[in-house]
């Protein structure tokens, strides 16, 4: 019975501990509601991710076949059940390859400049404008590449190489940023040890700094390739649209995967007459989904391999 | 090596040392060459950026200097009596409208995601969850366009019809909602999805930098988790959040394919978000007209591209400036 006499007292006057650990109901409810709101914000972001991947995969596998991957669109018309993406894959690989060849040396050397040599106003300007350059709209990069080549080759120029230049403008700042970060991770002790052995600075950079950070740099390059490989707008205006295979970057139009997706999408439904058995009304959309699947697989593979390289070959930071 | 010419003025060193010295000077040459190449690459970035501006101006010049009547005569898609400025105006308006719409939808969600990853999710899950959001950025824009045009748009139609039916009295949602919903509202949703990852990534970084002591002090004073976030994390990250939003804005302004593949274009200053054929963005307009344009038309399109370049440059520079200023502050802490 003695316990009952103390119970009401604590109920009337909460202890200090109660005051500190339990917020009043309104604050507690706000806290809970915000917890739910914030968690659901994350779930909301998952909806488009899952639905994009799901629609691309489920619609894309319909047409995906060795045949689809190995033929071009030459001679394909109307709703006939034929045509593939070989020419587009080839074009994408060539154009992106040349863009990588241009961007990696420039980007890497710029990163080396910023980390190892850069002092004073030039370095500050480069750092700032690399950031600004990341924000150039892709279509403006396309217009720039077009203007540059039109100056030498006359108006109406459409070449794979112009597309590569446009992609390089988009790719260089990404390469610089990621390489710079990787070079900064190299511990200074390694550089100093190398200097102490009498190795000149440039050799130290090549033999010690670059060798230590090579995995990270490769990761960064692959991620930047993954970023530009899906660029559509600049390639649409400077590399053009074509139905047959073209392997020459410096001659004639060149098809790429993203442009192919767009091209098929914009052609829309095919008007089929009821008696035409061979005609598939949605053939253009099916091809678009198929090509989209191929593109997304390439991008995701690049991302995955890049992350794996980063994880397994990362330099051990001396902690 | 040419440097051996200078050797006789000094006392001749022993043969072994001399070889060493010679090797050193040749190395110095390589070193100078290397550092010059690196500096050159850095300068090339500045040159490229300047070249982008210069070439755009040079190519846009013919259209900018041609009188309005001639321009309208020569270019089929510029209506009679419209100057180049009058042509660019609605495009700039459409570009800004789409981007601002995307931003309004994306910023609250991105802030929520960033807070979830930085302060609500278990620590071990933070980086995998961040990676999941980053995957959204890896998907090419043309695929967003395809998805938005074929999958999302039909599914958004009921929502837009509901908005028009119930909130139609607000001019923004004037009824009836267009069918199919190739409207700027749909574009806004798709653009919002596309800029989510960049806003989230920057906001997450900023929120993670909140001083541990501020958070613990708030909790020690009896704050709930939300109150701690509101009092310690958000004030600390506000400028970072603003610059994140501006980076997202820059991305949304320049986005081409998603807009081009979804929006049914029109050239008006209209705030009716659910009406088709009212808006067009600069980037989508270039992609649309470029292939069939005559030389003067190309020049006019490049002039619109120049306007886009200037706008995005201003937005991005402002965003970077805010970030840089913030960095200076946090360095002092």
Encode chain A (319 residues) as per-residue pLDDT tens digits. Answer: 444 444 455 456 667 766 656 657 788 888 889 999 999 998 988 899 899 999 999 999 988 888 888 888 888 877 788 888 999 999 999 999 999 999 999 999 999 999 988 888 888 889 888 888 888 899 999 999 998 888 888 877 888 889 999 999 999 999 999 999 889 888 899 999 999 998 988 889 998 999 888 888 998 999 899 989 988 999 998 888 888 888 888 888 889 999 999 999 988 888 887 777 778 888 889 999 999 999 999 999 998 898 888 888 765 554 4
Q: A80 by DSSP, 3-state: which?
A: strand
Whether the CB of A267 is below 8 Å from some CB of chain B: the reply is no
Long-range contacts of B151-154 (CB under 8 A, 24+ apart): B151/A51, B151/A55, B152/A51, B152/B186, B152/B189, B152/B190, B153/B180, B153/B181, B153/B182, B153/B186, B153/B262, B154/B180, B154/B181
What per-residue confidence (pLDDT) applies to A84? Answer: 86
Residue A3 has a pLDDT of 46
CB count, 10 Å around CB of A179? 28
Q: What is the DSSP letter of B81?
A: T
CB distance from A200 to chain B under 8 Å?
yes
Residues in CB range of B61: below 8 A, 6 or more apart: B299
Asked if residue A39 belongs to a domain, the reply is no
Q: Which of A177, A256, A292 is nearest to A224 (CA)?
A: A177
Q: Report the pLDDT value the prediction gives residue B92, as an integer from 0 to 100.
A: 93
Q: Inform me whether the pLDDT recorded for B24 exceeds 50.
A: yes
CB B272 within 8 A of CB B278: yes
Contact yes or no for A126/B45 (Cβ under 8 A): yes
pLDDT value of position A295: 93
Q: What is the pLDDT of residues A250-307, one digit of tens each?
A: 888 889 999 999 999 988 888 887 777 778 888 889 999 999 999 999 999 998 898 8
Residue of B nearest to A202 (CA): B31
Which residues, in sequence order, are CB contacts of B36 under 8 Å at separation 6+?
Answer: none
Cα B119 from Cα B212, distance rounded (Å)? 11
Under 8 Å between Cβ of B291 and A240: yes
Residue from A153, A99, A262, A88 nearest B287 by CA: A262
Which residues of B fall within a CB distance of 8 Å from A112? Answer: 38, 41
- In chain A, residues with a C-beta closer than 8 Å to the C-beta of B198 are none
| A144 at B interface, C-beta within 8 A | yes
Give CA angle at B56 (B50, B60), nearest 5°. Answer: 150
Whether residue A29 is contained in a domain is answered as no
Residue A191 maps to which CATH number?
1.10.3720.10
**Residue B5 pLDDT > 50:** no
Please check whether residue B284 is in contact with residue B305, taking contact to mean a CB–CB distance below 8 angstroms: no
CB B278 within 8 A of CB B266: yes
Predicted confidence at residue A258, as pLDDT, reads 92
Distance CA B196, CA A41 (A): 11
Q: What CA–CA distance (Å, rounded) separates B26 from B31?
A: 9
Closest residue on chain A to B60 (Cα): A147
Q: B13 CB near a chain A CB, below 8 Å?
A: no
Contacts of A150 in chain B (CB under 8 A): 59
User: For residue B172, what is the DSSP state?
Assistant: G
In contact, B176 and B162? CB cutoff 8 Å: no
Supply the pLDDT for residue A135.
Answer: 84
Partners of A279 in beta bridges: A80
Report whether A238 contacts A145 (CB < 8 A): yes
Proportion of chain B in helix, strand, coil states, percent, rounded to 5: 80, 0, 20
From chain B, the residues in CB contact with A130 under 8 A are 45
Q: Evaluate if residue B314 carries a pLDDT over 80.
A: yes
User: What is the distance between the alpha carbons of residues B152 and B154, in angstroms, rounded to a whole number?
Assistant: 6
Residue B269 to chain A, least CA–CA distance (Å) = 23
Q: How far apart are CA A82 and CA A73, in angstroms?
A: 8
A239 interface with B at CB cutoff 8 Å = no
Minimal Cβ distance to B138: which of A134, A289, A300 = A300
B44, B55, B133: residue with CB nearest A45 = B133
User: Are the C-beta atoms of B284 and B260 separated by less than 8 Å?
Assistant: yes
User: Is the CB of residue A232 less than 8 Å from the CB of residue B139?
Assistant: no
Task: Please name the residues between 225 and 244 in chain B that touch chain A, using a CB distance below 8 Å.
Answer: 225-227, 229
User: How many separate domains does chain A show?
Assistant: 1
CA distance B174 to chain A (A): 27
Q: Do A113 and B39 touch (CB under 8 A)?
A: yes
Q: Does residue A17 lie in a domain region?
A: no
Residue A242 located in a structural domain? yes
For the ranges B14-28, B245-259, B262-276, B311-325, which has the lowest average pLDDT? B14-28
Q: What is the pLDDT of residue B72?
A: 80
Answer yes or no: are the C-beta atoms of A306 and A223 closer than 8 Å: yes
In a domain, A47, yes or no: no
Q: Is B143 on the interface with A (CB under 8 A)?
A: yes
- Angle at CA of residue A262, ends A257 and A268, nearest 5°: 130
Interface contact flag, B143 A295, Cβ < 8 Å: yes
Q: Residue A27: which of B49, B227, B260 has the nearest Cβ?
A: B227
Confidence tier at B22 by pLDDT (50, 70, 90):
low
The pLDDT of residue A296: 92
- Nearest CB among B44, B116, B151 relative to A51 is that of B151
B15 confidence band (pLDDT: 50, 70, 90): low
CA distance B215 to chain A (A): 15
> Count of CB atoms within 10 A of residue B205's CB?
15
**What is the secondary structure of A178-210 as a DSSP string?**
HHHHHHHHS-HHHHHHHHHTT--HHHHIIIIIH
- The chain B residue lying nearest A16, using CA atoms, is B222
Task: State how far the Cα of B260 lies from the Cα of B254, in Å rounded to an integer.
Answer: 12
Q: How many helices (H) and strands (E) does chain A have?
A: 14, 0
pLDDT at B205 > cutoff 80:
yes
Bridge partners (DSSP) of residue A80 are A279
Does residue A50 belong to any structural domain of this protein? no
**Other CB atoms closer than 10 Å to residue B135's CB: what's the count?**
15
Query: Are the C-beta atoms of residues A30 and B225 closer than 8 Å to each other?
Result: no
Give the CA diameter of chain A: 103
Using DSSP's 3-state secondary structure scheme, residue A82 falls into: coil
The model's pTM is 0.85
pLDDT at residue A53, as a whole number: 92
pLDDT in tens, B93-113: 999 999 999 999 999 999 999
- Closest by CA to A98, choosing from A263, A242, A252, A228, is A228
Kindly state the DSSP code that residue B15 receives in the 8-state scheme.
H
Task: Tell me how far CA of residue B8 lies from CA of B3, B4, B5, B20, B22, in angstroms.
Answer: 10, 8, 7, 16, 13
- Which DSSP string corresponds to A237-281? HHT---SS----TTSS----HHHHHHHHHHH------TT-SSB-T
Domain that holds residue A287: 66-313
How distant is the alpha carbon of residue B122 from its chain centre? 31
Angle at A266 between CA A159 and CA A165, to 5 degrees: 25
Give domain status of residue A214, yes or no: yes
Q: Which residues, listed in sequence order, are joined to residue A186 by a DSSP beta bridge?
A: none
pLDDT of B40 over the 50 cut:
yes
Position A266 in a domain: yes
Select the residue of B145, B226, B305 nearest A139 (Cβ to Cβ).
B305
Cβ neighbours of residue B108 closer than 8 Å, sequence gap 6 or more: A41
Question: Quick one: CA torsion of B300, B301, B307, B313, rounded to 10 degrees?
Answer: -140
Compute the average pLDDT of residues B26-41: 84
**What's the token pair of residue B233?**
């994390």
pLDDT, averaged across chain B: 84
């Amino acid at each position: 019975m003695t316990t009952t006499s103390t119970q009401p007292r604590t109920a009337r006057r909460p202890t200090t501990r109660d005051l500190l650990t339990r917020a009043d109901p309104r604050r507690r409810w706000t806290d809970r509601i915000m917890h739910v709101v914030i968690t659901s914000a994350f779930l909301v972001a998952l909806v488009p991710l899952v639905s994009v991947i799901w629609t691309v995969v489920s619609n894309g596998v319909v047409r995906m076949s060795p045949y689809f991957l190995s033929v071009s669109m030459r001679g394909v018309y109307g709703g006939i059940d034929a045509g593939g993406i070989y020419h587009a894959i080839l074009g994408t690989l060539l154009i992106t390859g040349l863009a990588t060849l241009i961007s990696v040396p420039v980007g890497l050397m710029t990163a080396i400049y910023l980390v190892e040599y850069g002092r004073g106003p030039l370095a500050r300007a480069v750092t700032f404008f690399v950031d600004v350059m990341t924000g150039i709209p892709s279509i403006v990069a396309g217009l720039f590449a077009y203007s540059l080549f039109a100056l030498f080759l006359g108006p109406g120029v459409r070449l794979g190489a112009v597309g590569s230049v446009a992609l390089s403008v988009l790719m260089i700042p990404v390469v610089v940023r990621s390489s710079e970060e990787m070079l900064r991770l190299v511990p200074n002790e390694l550089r100093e040890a190398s200097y102490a052995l009498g190795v000149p600075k440039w050799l130290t950079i090549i033999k010690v700094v670059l060798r230590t950070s090579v995995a990270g740099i490769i990761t960064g390059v692959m991620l930047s390739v993954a970023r530009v490989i899906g660029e559509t707008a600049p390639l649409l205006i400077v590399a053009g649209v074509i139905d047959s295979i073209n392997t020459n970057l410096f001659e004639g139009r060149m098809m790429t995967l993203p442009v192919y997706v767009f091209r098929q999408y914009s052609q829309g439904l095919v008007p089929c007459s009821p008696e035409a058995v061979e005609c598939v009304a949605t053939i253009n959309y099916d091809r678009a989904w198929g090509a989209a699947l191929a593109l997304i697989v390439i991008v995701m593979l690049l991302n995955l391999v890049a992350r794996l390289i980063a994880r397994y070959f990362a330099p051990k930071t001396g902690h | 090596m040419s440097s051996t010419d200078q050797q006789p003025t000094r006392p001749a060193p022993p043969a072994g040392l001399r070889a060493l010295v010679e090797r050193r000077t040749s190395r110095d040459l390589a070193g100078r060459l290397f550092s010059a190449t690196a500096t050159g690459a850095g300068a090339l970035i500045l040159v490229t950026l300047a070249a982008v501006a210069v070439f755009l101006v040079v190519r846009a010049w013919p259209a900018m200097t041609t009188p309005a009547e001639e321009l309208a005569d020569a270019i089929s898609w510029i209506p009679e009596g419209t100057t180049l400025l009058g042509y660019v105006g609605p495009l700039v308006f459409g570009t800004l409208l789409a981007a601002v719409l995307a931003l309004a939808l994306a910023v609250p969600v991105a802030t929520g995601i960033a807070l979830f990853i930085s302060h609500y999710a278990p620590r071990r899950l933070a980086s995998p969850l961040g990676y999941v959001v980053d995957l959204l950025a890896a998907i090419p824009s043309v695929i967003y366009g395809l998805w938005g045009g074929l999958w999302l748009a039909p599914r958004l139609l009921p929502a837009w019809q509901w908005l028009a039916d119930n909130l139609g009295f607000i001019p923004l949602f004037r009824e009836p909602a267009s069918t199919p919903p190739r409207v700027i509202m749909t574009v806004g949703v798709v653009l919002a999805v596309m800029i989510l990852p960049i806003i989230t990534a920057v906001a997450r970084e900023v929120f993670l930098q909140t001083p541990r002591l501020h958070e613990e002090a708030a909790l020690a004073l009896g704050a709930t988790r939300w109150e701690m976030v509101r009092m310690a994390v958000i004030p600390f990250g506000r400028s970072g959040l603003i610059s994140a939003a501006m980076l997202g804005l820059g991305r949304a302004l320049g986005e081409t394919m998603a807009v081009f593949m979804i929006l049914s274009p029109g050239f008006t200053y209209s705030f009716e978000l659910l009406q088709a054929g009212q808006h067009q963005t600069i980037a989508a307009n270039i992609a649309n007209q470029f292939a069939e344009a005559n030389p003067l038309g190309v020049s006019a399109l490049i002039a619109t591209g120049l306007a886009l370049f200037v706008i995005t440059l201003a937005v991005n520079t402002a965003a970077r400036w805010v970030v840089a200023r913030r960095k200076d502050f946090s360095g002092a802490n």
